[in-house]
Amino acid sequence: MTTDGALARLIRSAADHRPATETEVCDLCAAPVATDHPHLYDTGQDQVRCACRPCSVLFADGRQGTGDGQFRLIPTRRVRLPKVDTAALGVPVGLVFFVPRADGSVTAQGPSPAGAMRWQVDAAAWQRAVTGCPPLAGLAPDVEALLVNTVHGLDHHWIAPVDDCFRMLAVVRREWRGLSGGGRMWPAVERFFEELTERS
């Protein structure tokens, strides 16, 4: 998934300490959007897009198509999970999210000093993780993720919307200093997960 469109604006605004919704409009009809607006995933362009309420309803069933792709409404459910054994998934970071795709593949993304990193997850390893945590079988492809934070002894494992996951990357990008992240980044990440808990 790229960070073009809605997510690029989200990351830029977070980096500049400006509200993400300062000039936000629906990416489909250009109508102004509310602060807490829905997002759509464009399967044709591999992008997340802002949506007004009427457009989100139009594409809520995932069957409405356009000339260059198909839009799917990103769900809003946030579910705290018991500990998931992610070590076997082959991703060498403790702050990461895993997105199952409609084609059966799984990608992982996490922050690094060079920016967001992306990995392909072994399909058999993912199936073992799903066997160990059955709720993962219900993840909506492309629009929901397993979001994990095990840094500094934390134990956060969530089913989360992909736009939340990219908000996490925006927080990291805004606060990262030096090679290790600096003294501001990890408290900001902890606040992100506290807010995730409040919104669940």
Number of domains in the chain: 2
Indicate whether 56 belongs to any domain. yes
- Do residue 108 and residue 195 come from a single domain? yes
What pLDDT score was predicted for residue 106?
96
- Do residue 40 and residue 129 come from a single domain? no
Indicate whether 172 belongs to any domain. yes
List the structure tokens of 81.
Answer: 């999970």
- Do residue 102 and residue 160 come from a single domain? yes
Indicate whether 40 belongs to any domain. yes
- Do residue 66 and residue 13 come from a single domain? yes
Indicate whether 1 belongs to any domain. no
Structural domain ending residue among the three candidates 51, 73, 95 = 73
d(CA 79, CA 182): 29
- Do residue 83 and residue 136 come from a single domain? yes
Structural domain ending residue among the three candidates 52, 73, 94 = 73
What pLDDT score was predicted for residue 68?
44
- Do residue 111 and residue 43 come from a single domain? no
Structural domain ending residue among the three candidates 73, 108, 126 = 73
Domain holding 100, by residue range, is: 79-199
Beta bridge partners of 110: 117
Alpha helices in the chain (DSSP H): 6-15, 53-58, 123-132, 162-175, 182-199
- Do residue 66 and residue 101 come from a single domain? no
Amino acid at 105: S
Q: How far is CA 81 from CA 101, 123, 130, 134, 157, in A?
A: 20, 21, 12, 10, 5
Instruction: Sort residue 21 into left (φ over 0), alpha (ψ -120 to 50) or beta.
Output: alpha
* pLDDT per position as a tens digit, 43-95: 878 788 999 999 988 876 554 444 345 788 999 999 999 999 888 898 878 89
- Do residue 106 and residue 162 come from a single domain? yes
- Do residue 102 and residue 186 come from a single domain? yes
What pLDDT score was predicted for residue 3?
45
Site of tokens 């160990």: 132
- Do residue 55 and residue 143 come from a single domain? no
Does this model's pTM top 0.95? My answer is no
What pLDDT score was predicted for residue 62?
53
The residues of the chain scoring below 50 in pLDDT are 1-4, 11-21, 63-68
Instruction: Sort residue 111 into left (φ over 0), alpha (ψ -120 to 50) or beta.
Output: beta
- Do residue 127 and residue 55 come from a single domain? no
d(CA 52, CA 99): 25
- Do residue 55 and residue 121 come from a single domain? no
Indicate whether 12 belongs to any domain. yes
